[in-house]
Amino acid sequence: MSSIFEKLDKETSQNDCFWLPLDVLVKRDIGHNKIYLAELYILTETKQVKSRNFILTKTRIYKCKKESEIPKAMTVITWKKLEPFEENQQLEKKYGFRLGYRPIFQDFYTNTEIELDEWISNLSRLTIMGELEYDYAIIKEIGKGNFATVYLAEETESHVQFAIKFIDKEYMSHCPGGVSAILNEVVIMKKINHPYILKLHRVYEDKHFIYLVLEYLKGGDLLRRLHKKEKFTESTAARFIVNLLESLKYLHASHIVHRDLKPENLLMITNDSDVDFKICDFGLAYMSSSNQNLRCGSPGYAAPEIIQKKPYNQKVDIFSAGILLYIVLSGRPPFRGQNVKEILKQNSICRLTFHDKCWDSISKKGKNMILSLTNPNPSLRLSAEQALRHPWLKVSNLLKLGKELLPQTACDQYDQCNISCVSFDEINLSSSHKYLKYIENTHLILKTIQDKNQPSPDEKCKKSTDIVSNPESQNNANNNDS
């Protein structure tokens, strides 16, 4: 199958030229996103070897004159293929790398192998790589999805373990919106850098697969953690939501909306900490500051305005965060039903209650925090920044809850992604694919475990909820508790 990324790269080229004229974003891009500056050698059209300075940013390479930092031309590297090479010429070796696809490419040469390694180290995170098998040893399968399988792998050079998502290009191309979803995930994850968001290490592509090399976290997801612990203490839940809100504050400041926050998409960093996690799966995310209309997300977590087909914005993530807070405090979801339709109905009505016995020990400020995050009216719903100033999260209140001071955050120091330097504003997924994923990706259907002796509400509240993804098993769900 032909390269998916090559098609995108051609869209950024003009008149089939590798080097493009400069645009108005140059000064800002270099000022905010400069990564590396070094000398390289290139062949001119007359086959002469010329030395030039090159500036590397997150999305581009700028060509300058020799011994100058003033750019004269540029090329967008986001979708370009990177191929390192060695050439044996007489008694010496030449080291270099190629960027692009035939016939639109450029060969670059370095003086030494060390210089080549430095360039490859920087470029490999920003471009598309080709030969996965030379860089990683596959250990075992650790997950499987619709058109992707995730493997645990070890980088051959560093011996660091990664999770690699193998995406079947043939299957993906026949799934409506499948290609767009993957491209959406790649372009967003390449640009974000935050301690509580999963990092994309590299992207590879061959004839049959796209490979996403991701951080490997050993703690499992939040869903698995809740199966083990049932729920968190109030002080732990407060620290948990602070980290989630800090992450959303960062994303929303970068005009990124996740749209699918749920326990399966929060990966716990370790087995010991309940408050340290990383947000993953940006397949449904979008990059834009304007309102959206596409109906997507997961039943039980989607904001009411999405279900009601109303325009929405970044506040949909805040709603999902509030649902997650409800779940980690109680061990159960607020919207329950025997099938997806019933859950969506409760989700749309959005009436959260705290009648169960397990809420008796939760402070009024904690309950108010949940209601502030899940207000059905998005204009009255708190933003991430506002929520971080809620009285429940003040240090004095946390001390009353019997927990140590919250750690200092340094969110302002994190890299903000430069959305203006992306060659397109947003990759829209087809509405049919969105709706399909909305219905099929039902990851939270309450399955109340009934006891023959009919336990009291207090005993029921202590029981863990069972998360299922198979729609056929929804008939077993029970909605006796409210």
Strand, helix or coil for residue 429: coil
Residues with catalytic annotation?
260
Using the Cα atoms of residue 381, residue 386, residue 387 and residue 391 in order, give the sign of their dihedral.
Answer: negative
What type of residue is 403? Answer: K
Q: 173: closest CA among 369, 481, 433?
A: 433
Alpha helices in 99-147 (DSSP H): 113-123
Q: Is 135 annotated as a binding residue?
A: no
> Is-contact 185 213, C-beta < 8 A?
no
> Is-contact 253 344, C-beta < 8 A?
no
What type of residue is 112? Answer: T
Q: Is 476 annotated as a binding residue?
A: no
Strand, helix or coil for residue 150: strand
> Is-contact 4 169, C-beta < 8 A?
yes
Alpha helices in 14-61 (DSSP H): 26-33
Other beta carbons within 10 Å of 273: 14
Tally of CA atoms within 13 A in the half-sphere of 205 that contains its CB: 19
Q: Is 264 annotated as a binding residue?
A: yes
Q: Give backbone dihedrals phi and psi of 327, rounded to 5 degrees, phi first.
A: -70, -45
Q: Is 86 annotated as a binding residue?
A: no
Binding annotation: 165, 264-265, 281
Binding annotation for ATP: 165, 264-265, 281
